[in-house]
Amino acid sequence: MKKRLFSGIQPSGDIHIGNYLGALKNWVAMARQYDSIFCVVDYHAITIPYDTAGFRSRILHTAAMLMAVGLKPEECKIFVQSHVPEHTELCWVLSTVIQMGHLERMIQYKEKSKQHAENINVGLFTYPVLQAADILIYKAEVVPVGEDQIQHIELSREIARKFNTRFGPIFPEPLEKVSAGARIMGLDGQAKMSKSLGNTIALTDTPEIIHQKLKTAVTDVNRKRRSDTGNPDVCNLFTLHKYFSGSETVDEINKECRNAGIGCIDCKTKLAAHMSAELNPIRERYNAIVSHTEDVVGHLESGANQCREMARQTMGEVRSAIGIR
């Protein structure tokens, strides 16, 4: 029996290389090894301001991108969170076993409350409980995520533990699985790459856009002139070279940057070429997939049908454990 894996992504903007290196690439590598479920978490995405008119197409496009990076609907389940209402039902039950103090400590809640000070809604606060429900409703044991989600998975463990102690052993305690690219910095070199900060390279960016964006990206700030020697250890773009360029290029840049043999402009041109080589096939597959959204809709329906069965089963156990049935 394969262990069950669950992970999710919000349909809240263009999927970027942070999502790709921190999560999606890992999902593709792990999908067949596990009984894998991947979810477009639309109910999570409505906790911050969003455009209702374009939302459905964003949801479909996010699912299309999951398929374009290499997830195959025949090998794993891909579905939309709101298509399986048991997630929100379980969220309610779980919200009665976790204390407010736990949720108040969530870093993402604090950050989002600052970013959206005019709209600190209850959903933003209970967001991690819905995330726990996403995972626990399928009794998933493995959750591949980027670093910013570790605290939420720890909380999911805490919620599972508290539920089991009070009502009996229903849920396994899920473990996060974090990859090497778990925290990709934005092109500003200041903050984590993030849809909301506009410091991203999207998986749909063309080679021209990628090169253009890299031209303005921050490198080693102490290297002011071409003749200065640089320090790759503090250069965000060197980190990206490690993910996109082969070891030969990485070794060469490591050496040549330190002795001013290569300048930032050439280094960026090389990175743009390697990045484009990896992203081009993804963009092409994505464009082909979104030109047939009816197929995407079909895959999502079949994913939701399978997931609904599992979710109903767990909710049955939960209702009986809490004494409702």
Catalytic residues: 112, 192, 195
Q: Within a 10 A sphere around the Cβ of 176, how many other Cβ atoms?
A: 20
Binding mask of the shown chain, residues 76 to 115, with x at each position contacting ligand TYM by CB under 6 A: ----------------------------------------
Annotated binding-site residue? 320: no
- Comparing CB distances to ligand TYM, the nearer of 163 and 263 is 163
Annotated binding-site residue? 193: yes
b or e along 269-291 (b: 16 or more beta carbons within 10 Å of the residue's beta carbon)?
ebbbebbbeebeebbebbeebbe
Annotated binding-site residue? 19: yes
In angstroms, the CA 178 to CA 184 distance is 12
Tokens at 76, concatenated: 């794993």
Q: Please, what sign has the CA dihedral across residues 309, 314, 317, 323?
A: negative
- Comparing CB distances to ligand TYM, the nearer of 102 and 258 is 102
Rg (CA), the chain: 21
- Comparing CB distances to ligand TYM, the nearer of 146 and 263 is 146
Q: Which stretch binds ligand TYM (CB under 6 A): 47-55, 66-74, 143-151, 231-239?
A: 143-151
Binding mask of the shown chain, residues 191 to 230, with x at each position contacting ligand TYM by CB under 6 A: -xxx------------------------------------
- Comparing CB distances to ligand TYM, the nearer of 13 and 207 is 13
Of the residues 184, 235, 237, 300, which one makes contact with ligand TYM according to CB under 6 A: 184
- Comparing CB distances to ligand TYM, the nearer of 140 and 264 is 140
318 near 93, Cβ under 8 Å? yes
Q: Which residue is nearest to ligand TYM (CB)?
A: 22
Give the dihedral of Cα atoms 225, 227, 230, 236; nearest 10 deg.
50
- Within residues 120-139, the interface with ligand TYM by CB under 6 A covers 131, 134-135
Strands 35-40 and 77-80: parallel
210 near 279, Cβ under 8 Å? yes
Annotated binding-site residue? 169: no
Q: Which helix (H) or strand (E) holds 270?
A: helix 264-290
In angstroms, the CA 140 to CA 236 distance is 34
Does residue 182 interact with ligand TYM by CB under 6 A? yes
Q: Within a 10 A sphere around the Cβ of 233, how many other Cβ atoms?
A: 11
What is the secondary structure of 103-116 as a DSSP string? Answer: HHT-HHHHHHHHHT
Annotated binding-site residue? 194: yes
- Comparing CB distances to ligand TYM, the nearer of 14 and 295 is 14
DSSP conformation class of 48: S
Reduce the DSSP state of residue 185 to 3 states and report it: strand
- Within residues 4-63, the interface with ligand TYM by CB under 6 A covers 6-10, 18-19, 21-23, 41, 44
Residues that bind ligand TYM (CB under 6 A): 6-10, 18-19, 21-23, 41, 44, 131, 134-135, 143, 145-146, 148-149, 152, 181-184, 192-194
The annotated binding site for ATP is made up of 10-12, 18-19, 146-148, 184, 192-196
The annotated binding site is made up of 10-12, 18-19, 134, 146-148, 184, 192-196
